[in-house]
Amino acid sequence: MKAFLIRIFLLLFSVFLCIQLWIFTSLAWWRFKPVDTTMMMRLDYWSEPAVPIKHQWRPYDEISTNLKKAVVTAEDGKFMHHHGFDWEGIQTALSKNKEQGKVVAGGSTISQQLAKNLFLFNKRSFLRKGQEVIATWMMERMWSKERILEVYLNSIEFGHHVYGAEAAAKHYFGKTSESLTKDEAIFLAAILTNPKYFEEHRHASALKARKHMIRRYMRYAEIP
């Protein structure tokens, strides 16, 4: 029995190490190469293979500064000042969730969200969260802040099978991501909390409130 448990432990440990090696090599490759697909895109495609994924890579300098500032304001105001984790934000989220008795707020940074989108899945679990922490830690040490934001803007979901700033700009406004106005950027940043829902409910009160918040604080956003 003891030998069997040891073999199981060694097998699980080997799988764990292989996953970390896969993440490390992927991050090393993507330091300079465009990210053409992510785990979230694959899961979306596998759920509806008849619907093509809309995605087109754009370099950091070809994405509107308006969108960069709006997204940082909406998703991670301390992006330039943390090393992957906003501990104060996590504590605030935990307090809100405890008060409500359910998950009503998250404390994930842009780096954490990107780690999840690149490698993991949406289902909440301690195992997934632990792997997210490891992937985020590696990413923050291998990539610059500019690279993290560049990949994030190119891979985040903006609607039904719509991924990345370029695809979103064309889908919603018929233009390139480089030419997005302030109002258009605020809209795209505001829908990120629930893009598939807000794609169909563009006049929802929650969306209006989020757009107001972004507009109010966007001037203070720090970006790479």
CATH number of 37-220: 1.10.3810.10
- Whether 188 and 168 have beta carbons less than 8 Å apart is answered as yes
| pLDDT at site 8 | 87
Token pair 């802040």 is found at: 145
Identify the pLDDT of residue 46.
93
Q: Which pLDDT score is estimated for 215?
A: 97
Side chain identity at 134, as an amino acid letter?
Answer: I
Q: Say how many C-beta atoms besides its own lie within 10 A of residue 109's C-beta.
A: 24
Q: Which residue, chain included where needed, has tokens 């695809």?
A: 167
The conformation of residue 176, written as its DSSP 8-state character, comes to -
Helices (H), the chain: 2-29, 39-47, 65-75, 87-100, 110-119, 126-142, 145-155, 165-173, 182-190, 195-200, 205-217
**Can you give the pLDDT at residue 51?**
92
Q: What is the pLDDT of residue 211?
A: 97
* Residue 215: CA count within 13 A, CB half-sphere: 12
Q: Dihedral, CA atoms, 163, 62, 111, 182, nearest 10 degrees?
A: -80
Structural contact between residues 90 and 180, judged by C-beta atoms closer than 8 angstroms:
no
**Which of 163, 216, 159 lies closest to 186 in space, CA to CA?**
216
Residues 163, 156 contacting (CB under 8 angstroms):
yes
Please work out, in degrees rounded to the nearest 5, the angle formed at the alpha carbon of residue 131 by the alpha carbons of 130 and 136.
100
163 - beta bridge partners? 55, 157
Q: pLDDT (tens digit, 0 to 9) for every residue of the chain, 224 residues total?
A: 777 788 888 888 899 999 999 999 999 999 999 999 999 999 999 999 999 999 999 999 999 999 999 999 999 999 999 999 888 867 765 566 555 554 444 579 999 999 999 999 877 788 888 999 999 999 999 999 999 999 999 999 999 999 999 999 999 999 999 999 999 999 999 999 999 999 999 999 999 999 999 999 999 999 99
pLDDT at residue 189, as a whole number: 98
Give Rg (Cα) of the chain.
18
